[in-house]
Amino acid sequence: MFTFKLKPFFTFLTLFLVEVGIALWIDDAIIRPFFGDFLAVITMFSLLKTFLLMSDLNLAFGSLGIAYLLEFLQYCNFLRLVGLEKYKYIAIVLGSSFDWRDVFAYTLGIFAVFLFDKKTLGLSKD
């Protein structure tokens, strides 16, 4: 059930560093809110793929489910409900405001996984 795969780990690490860079240095209307969320679900997929022995399709849907869950928690003002809204880094990681465009970006991110990872669709024998 658990493993460690180097290639998806390097993909995760690269995407994570890009995400950190976006969070620290970009404050615009497109890249940070949309492209950051697009990459977030791909980053999550790479992290899960690093450690879990599951089909890529299940990993993709699991990543999308986690992203949707976090967005739903934002809709419910979860951080405020549990008293964590004052913690800046938790608010950055979990997000603090619901937006349908985020859901759209997550969905497009998983479509990108399907398009660029042939194993996800069962098209390669690896």
Is residue 1 a part of any domain in this protein? no
Structure tokens at 94: 């979990």
Report the C-alpha gap between 56 and 53 in whole angstroms. Answer: 9
The pLDDT of residue 119 is above 90: no
pLDDT reported for residue 34: 93
Is residue 71 a part of any domain in this protein? yes
pTM given for the model: 0.87
* 9-67 per-position pLDDT tens digit: 999 999 999 999 998 899 898 898 899 999 999 999 999 999 999 999 999 999 999 99
Report the pLDDT averaged over residues 72-88: 92
Under DSSP, is residue 68 helix (H, G, I), strand (E, B) or coil? helix
Is residue 76 a part of any domain in this protein? yes
Is residue 82 a part of any domain in this protein? yes
Is residue 122 a part of any domain in this protein? no
Is residue 38 a part of any domain in this protein? yes
Q: Is 114 left (phi over 0), alpha (psi -120 to 50) or beta?
A: alpha
Q: CA angle, corner 22, sides to 16 and 26, nearest 5? A: 175
pLDDT band per the 50, 70, 90 thresholds, residue 126: very low
Is residue 126 a part of any domain in this protein? no
The pLDDT of residue 122 is above 60: no
Is residue 34 a part of any domain in this protein? yes
What domain range is 16 assigned to?
6-116
Identify which of 41, 53, 51 has the alpha carbon closest to the alpha carbon of residue 16. Answer: 41
Number of domains within the chain:
1
